[in-house]
Amino acid sequence: MRPPPKKVALLLLLTIFFLIDDLLFYLLVVDFYHWPIHPAVFSLVSIVIIALNFWLAVVVLRILRKTPTTGPPGMIGKAGVVIKENANGMQVQVQGEIWRATSEDLLGRGDRIIVQSVQGLMLVVKKKIQES
């Protein structure tokens, strides 16, 4: 399967961008210290730098493709714990935040939960199944 042309172009653009700083660093070292570098060593180092920059471009491209999930969709599937239960409902702590919650399961203080959905400012949770 061939990658789309836009991805290939972005990957090449990122690789060239990362190579520019390496080239500027090389020019700085050559002009400042006047180090004689053997052509074979220079070629080997250049190939390694190009490979590393290509790898870095691939990593950056993968990171850019990920879309962050925030808000209600970002809460679904998160784990938490019941911290308070009374006649008015319960409070759970998920990712350090305290939320009001409802559940069809019978839950008590200290029970581990998983967020199923978000209804306004209330979480719908279920009891987390303990894995052995």
Element (H, E) at 122: strand 122-127
Q: Which residue has the higher pLDDT, 131 or 80?
A: 80
Is 77 a residue whose pLDDT tops 80? yes
| Domains in the chain, CATH or no CATH each | 5-65 (no CATH), 71-127 (2.40.50.140)
**CA–CA distance, 107 with 28 (Å, rounded to integer):** 66
| CA 50 centroid distance within chain | 25
**CA–CA distance, 25 with 119 (Å, rounded to integer):** 54
What's the pLDDT at 112? Answer: 94
pLDDT one-digit tens code per residue, 33-74:
566 777 787 778 778 878 887 888 888 878 877 777 777 888
105-109-110 Cα angle (round to 5): 95
Is 75 a residue whose pLDDT tops 80? yes
Amino acid sitting at position 103: S
- What predicted TM-score, i.e. pTM, was given to this entire model? 0.50
Residue 24 — very low, low, confident or very high, per pLDDT cuts 50/70/90? confident
